[in-house]
Structure 1
Amino acid sequence: MFWVPLLLLAWSAAGAACASLCLAAVRTAGADTDPAHELTLYEAAFLSGGPVRVADLALLSMARQRRLLLAHTGWATVVDPHGRDDIERSVIGAIGPRGQSPIAPVRAAAATTDAVRGLADRLVRAGLAVPAGARTTVAAGVRQVRAAATAVVVLGVTALLLPGEPGLERYLIACWFALPLVLSLGCLALARIEAHPCSRWASPAGQRLLAALPRHRGDHTDDRAYLTAVAVHGVRAVGEPELRAAFDRRH
């Protein structure tokens, strides 16, 4: 019966890890949402690609309206210094007083401004975005369950190798250790099914609203369709090679 303490350790590790992951998943998906909420383009951009996607959308929207020039060399030049919303004003501020800057640092700086953080906070309160802490907690929970499953296997093998146990006893030991292992692997499978289809940024409710958006990739004559494609798919949805080259530059 020397294997019983090892079994208790296995159950403790598996139970604690699975409980931690389940609580993290509940906190991530537990907020109430307004089913009638209509996503703005900035909201769709954040839920699809995070803060940098919001900055990209603002840059491309201003370039679309000829209020900003994006050169294929990777530089942004301000034409109209008066932003029409907080996000645009943040982009202009990130470009700086000279009115010209490489695009890469502008994207990075604009993504960390108060305007973008405020957008993220509103989406979290609405239950559409995943709180930053919850993203890391779920990932840590998955790692903890994986470690627990490994520990169960190691403890089970150790119990089977203990001397003096008859054949039937070893069979029963394997069955007992299989139970916490099945619990751990089942929890990982559920986490993969439930969590992996969701993006890093959007909650399940946010994902449903994103799925309801129209998909018009490649339509560059309709501004709304063009910017929606950018918000959802990012810069890769841009058809103009010069613009894609501008964002590919690293300075």
Structure 2
Amino acid sequence: MFWVLLLLLAWAVAGVACTRLCLAAVAAAAAEPRDGYADVDAGPGHDLTLYEAAFLSGGPGRVADVTMISMARQRRLLLAHTGWATVVDPRGRDEMERSVIGAIGPEGQSRIAPVRAAAAGADAVRRLADGLVRAGLAVPDGGAGTTVAAGMRQVRAAAVAVLALGVAALLLPARTGMPAGLVALWFALPLTLCLSCLAIARFEARPYSRWASPAGQRLLGALARRPAGEGDERSFLTCVAVRGVRAIGEPDLRAAFAHRDQPWPPR
């Protein structure tokens, strides 16, 4: 009867994950009237900067990416296709650029990956995040959006775990005469619970973003719908801020990020 122990474990995993998701959804619904980022009128008339759009779309790492790409387009930072960054102009024009230059170090050259990580954790990015949270455009750490999203990830993981436990039970050499179909049916019950919770959360819960609040998502949507001029530098950087480095059309610049983990410096 070892398969019964696996069944109990499957129920425990599914029950805990689904309970956490339900509690998170209830807490999110209760917190909506108090959360500034849930206010429909949050951020009216706010014109997102490139850094703000980058943070709301992709978080601190996206801000670092946009900063380095902007400096590279202005020929003040060289991003080699081998994945290394070299400072050309050591004078940063704002806090973000100074954070990137400081992350590269006094030698003026470093791999892109550690520069990105250091710049993403800089004080300038934290201040940017705090300002967006106060404006009601970003989700605070531990906010309802991140809690619900984490709960959904846990339920998805629980569904995979239940499926794996069911397969393990079916592969047991002896089930004391229990038909395989009946064993599979027992494991289908906790799996159905997980899938049902995911379906309900998908259709009933409002869409959450890891970084942007609903008000921030509306501003991002409006920003993405703006017409872009051909060859417009700001339009290019806005596209990168919203979509990430995959929006880069320049082969050499795209290669710098695609191969940023190369262990050798550019020649």
Tell me the TM-score normalised to structure 1 length: 0.71
Structure 2: 5+ residue stretches without partners:
1-15, 159-191, 263-267
Q: What are the Cα deviations for residues 168-195 of structure 1, in whole angstroms up to 9, with x where unaligned?
A: xxxxxxxxxxxxx99x988754532365
Which of 78, 94, 104 in structure 1 is aligned with 2:87? Answer: 78
Match of 2:43 in 1: 34
Match of 1:233 in 2: 243
C-alpha contact 2:132 2:138 (8 A) present in aligned 1 = yes
The structure-2 alpha-carbon separation of the partners of 1:204 and 1:71, relative to structure 1 and needing over 3 Å to count, comes to same
C-alpha contact 2:224 2:242 (8 A) present in aligned 1 = no
Secondary structure in 1 matching 2:78: strand
CA distance in 1, matches of 2:256, 2:207: 31
Which of 115, 121, 142 in structure 1 is aligned with 2:130? Answer: 121
Give the Å deviation of 1:46.
0.5
Is 1:52 the counterpart of 2:61? The answer is yes
CA distance in 2, matches of 1:102, 1:81: 17
Is 1:208 the counterpart of 2:228? The answer is no
C-alpha contact 2:43 2:215 (8 A) present in aligned 1 = no
CA distance in 2, matches of 1:16, 1:244: 40
C-alpha contact 1:48 1:231 (8 A) present in aligned 2 = yes
CA distance in 2, matches of 1:27, 1:199: 16
Tell me the TM-score normalised to structure 2 length: 0.67
Which structure has the larger Rg over C-alpha atoms? 1
C-alpha contact 1:28 1:130 (8 A) present in aligned 2 = no
Give the Å deviation of 1:206.
0.7
CA distance in 2, matches of 1:73, 1:139: 36
Which of 88, 108, 112 in structure 1 is aligned with 2:121? Answer: 112
The structure-2 alpha-carbon separation of the partners of 1:17 and 1:50, relative to structure 1 and needing over 3 Å to count, comes to closer
Match of 2:110 in 1: 101
> Which letter does structure 2 place at the counterpart of 1:207?
Q
Secondary structure in 2 matching 1:213: helix
The structure-2 alpha-carbon separation of the partners of 1:136 and 1:209, relative to structure 1 and needing over 3 Å to count, comes to closer
Structure 1: 5+ residue stretches without partners:
1-12, 148-180
Aligned pair count?
210
CA distance in 2, matches of 1:199, 1:17: 16
Q: What are the Cα deviations for residues 217-247 of structure 1, in whole angstroms up to 9, with x where unaligned?
A: 9977211111000100111111111111100
Give the Å deviation of 1:140.
4.4
Which of 96, 100, 104 in structure 2 is aligned with 1:87? Answer: 96
Which of 183, 197, 201 in structure 2 is aligned with 1:191? Answer: 201
Match of 1:4 in 2: none
Identity among equivalent pairs (%): 68
CA distance in 2, matches of 1:111, 1:195: 30
CA distance in 1, matches of 2:19, 2:82: 55
> Which letter does structure 2 place at the counterpart of 1:129?
A
> Which letter does structure 2 place at the counterpart of 1:111?
A
> Which letter does structure 1 place at the counterpart of 2:25?
L
Match of 1:9 in 2: none
Q: Which moved more, 1:117-126 or 1:20-29?
A: 20-29
The structure-2 alpha-carbon separation of the partners of 1:186 and 1:125, relative to structure 1 and needing over 3 Å to count, comes to farther
CA distance in 2, matches of 1:212, 1:77: 35
The alignment's C-alpha RMSD in Å is 3.4
CA distance in 1, matches of 2:81, 2:229: 21
